[in-house]
Every structure is written in C-alpha cells, then in structure tokens.
Chain A
Amino acid sequence: DIQMTQSPSSLSASVGDTVTITCRASQGISSYLNWYQQKPGKPPQLLIYGAATLESGVPSRFSGSGAGTDFTLTITDLQLEDFATYYCQQTYTDFRTFGGGTTVDIK
C-alpha cells in the first residue's frame, strides 16, 4: 500500500498570501497525483490532476508540481473562497489512497 502524507495538517493564512501544501508518497507514483478541494458540507472537487494539470475552470492561482514521491500544491494570492481543506490522492495503484488533508483557515 502507498501511504500519502500531507503537511501541514492545518495552516492559517490571510487573503493575498501564498500558501504551499506538500504531499509525500511512500514510494514513487510517477505523476499520478491529484489535488482536491473540499468545503464544509460539500463533496470534494478536483483541482489538479497529473501533479500539475489544472482542471478546467480552476483559477490559475492554483498550481501543482512534483513527480516521484514529492509533490506540492501552491495557492498564490489566496482568496476568501480558497479557505477549505485540501487532499492529495494517488491513482498510480489499484489501492487509491488519499492524504490526510490540509485545512487552510483564516488567520
């Protein structure tokens, strides 16, 4: 099983800040890493797939990078609607694990 470890588990930021969330896989997953955003009471929404490809309609202030075992999600110029929980997920193997999540809240 591939374990996905996200850090930090939570962070506080202000509107306009740049935030970076990391996701580390316990073994190499090439670029089969996806990022989701979840707001309270809603299902998750796909933000980025293939480590770096922005899903259609997602603002360009979101970006992803990485390959192998280490990945990052960066949000520049944080907006009010970006305060949410973010999850990474690998789709490299049949057992499609999620990271534990990172909650971004308002400082």
Chain B
Amino acid sequence: QVRLLQSGPGLVKPSETLSLICTVPNDSINDYSWNWIRQAPGKGLEWIAFFYSGGRVSYNPSYESRVSIAMDTSKNQFSLKMNSVTAADTAMYYCAGASIVYSSPLDFWGQGTMVIVSS
C-alpha cells in the first residue's frame, strides 16, 4: 500500500492562498497519477484536480481559475494551490493516488488536512 503524508497550514485567511503538499515517502511519484479531493464539513466528496502521467492536468471547472497542482519529482511530492479563498473553501482536503492507467480508481489516500478559512 502506498503511503501518503499530507502537510500544510490548517488556517488560511480569506483572500489568501491555500497551499498543501502530499509527500510519497516510499514509492516513486512517477509510477502513479495524483488527485486532490475535498470535503466540506458534513458534506460529500468533491473532486478538485488530477495530475496524470506526462504532465497532463485536469481541473474541476468550478475551481479551474483558482487552482493549480504540480509535481516535484525531486522531492517525491505533489502540491495544491488555491488562491482567493473564502469561508466556502473550509474543508478537509485529501490527496489520493491511483494507478498510472487512465481510468484507475483512487487506491490510496492521505490522512487529510482540515483547512479553515478565517481571519
């Protein structure tokens, strides 16, 4: 089972940028595709974005103008940045990985980072 370690601040001020990192300590990040998902308190799962083999990136159109994801193969990490956050972005954020095959399910998940947007 691939292990994922999430890091990043749990409190972000409105209008600022949310930045989260997912580290893959024991496997090569190049062997998988990577996703970000969030879950507002008491709500369902919402897919944000994924990074697929060869640099292909896909974003949820609801966030596309505010979100970017990237891979750092030298550190075996992938990241999420979401700018201009509001209270509506308060949620648990998960990173999740899948096999390199395009339609693969999300096999392994990070522990989650609860991000609160508040001044």
Interface residues of A (CB under 8 A from B): 1, 32, 34, 36, 38, 43-46, 49-50, 55, 87, 89, 91-92, 94-101
A92 and B103 contacting across the interface, CB-CB below 8 Å: yes
Bound together, the chains give a CA A45 to CA B103 distance in angstroms of 17
A101 and B45 contacting across the interface, CB-CB below 8 Å: yes
B105 and A89 contacting across the interface, CB-CB below 8 Å: yes
B47 and A34 contacting across the interface, CB-CB below 8 Å: no
Say if the beta carbon of B61 comes within 8 Å of chain A: yes
A36 partner residues in chain B, CB cutoff 8 A: 45, 106
What interface size band does chain B fall in?
20 to 34
With both beta carbons as reference points, the residue of chain B lying nearest to A96 in the complex is identified as: B47
A98 and B106 contacting across the interface, CB-CB below 8 Å: no
B103 and A89 contacting across the interface, CB-CB below 8 Å: no
26 A-B interface contacts by CB (under 8 A): A1-B61, A34-B105, A34-B106, A43-B109, A43-B110, A44-B45, A44-B106, A44-B109, A46-B105, A49-B104, A49-B105, A91-B98, A91-B105, A92-B103, A94-B58, A95-B47, A95-B58, A96-B47, A96-B50, A96-B58, A97-B47, A98-B44, A98-B47, A99-B44, A100-B44, A101-B45
6 closest A-B pairs by CB: A94-B58, A43-B109, A34-B105, A49-B105, A101-B44, A91-B103
Rounded to whole Å, the gap between the CB of A41 and the closest CB of chain B is 9
With both beta carbons as reference points, the residue of chain A lying nearest to B98 in the complex is identified as: A91
Say if the beta carbon of B94 comes within 8 Å of chain A: yes
Q: Mark B33-63, 1 if CB is under 8 A from A, else 0.
A: 0010100000011110010000000101100
Rounded to whole Å, the gap between the CB of B69 and the closest CB of chain A is 13
A1 partner residues in chain B, CB cutoff 8 A: 61
B61 and A87 contacting across the interface, CB-CB below 8 Å: no
**17 extra interface residue pairs, beta carbon distance < 8 Å, beyond A46-B106, A50-B105:** A34-B106, A36-B106, A43-B96, A43-B111, A44-B106, A46-B107, A49-B104, A55-B105, A87-B44, A91-B105, A92-B103, A95-B61, A96-B58, A97-B47, A98-B44, A98-B47, A101-B44
